[in-house]
Amino acid sequence: MKSLWILLVVTAFAVPACKKGGETCEKFVERSMTCGDDDVTKMTSTEKSQFKLMMEGMCEGAFSNEVGGAEGDTKKMMLGMYATLRTKATCVAAAKDCAAAKACDKLDN
């Protein structure tokens, strides 16, 4: 699990300057911040800012399939993670409320 978080953080900073995912990512990040679990609500303002930046980078990376030069199994894992994230971001962005957004969590499985 620790290696997945490292990968996510690295990916968040490896995203190209152009924003992919546009409004879908904006809505996904907003819902992640406002409809998040207790861990999000307990974050300090600095932690929330960093979490938001990471979520934006992950979502944009998912829509651009940015792999930062990764190859082989690592690239395959990243692309699979991105496919899941795109599906979840699209679901969350279309959700009408927090309950509907939380229902999108089943897409992680």
Q: Where are the alpha helices (H) located in 65-107, listed in sequence order?
A: 72-94, 98-103
15, pLDDT greater than 70? no
Please report whether residue 37 resides in a domain. Answer: yes
Whether the per-residue pLDDT at 82 is higher than 60: the answer is: yes
Residue closest to 9 by CA, chosen among 50, 54, 74, 41: 54
Domain span at 79: 2-11+25-108
Global model pTM greater than 0.85 = no
Query: What's the domain count of the chain?
Result: 1
Mean per-residue pLDDT of the chain:
83
Residue range 33-59, pLDDT digits in tens:
998 777 888 899 999 999 999 999 999
Check pLDDT > 90 for residue 4: no
Copy the structure tokens of residue 22.
Answer: 């546009």
Answer yes or no: is 33 within a domain: yes
Q: Is residue 20 situated within a structural domain? A: no
Q: State how far Cα 107 lies from the chain centre.
A: 13
The tokens for 90 are 């699209």
The band of 11, judged by pLDDT with boundaries at 50, 70 and 90, is: low
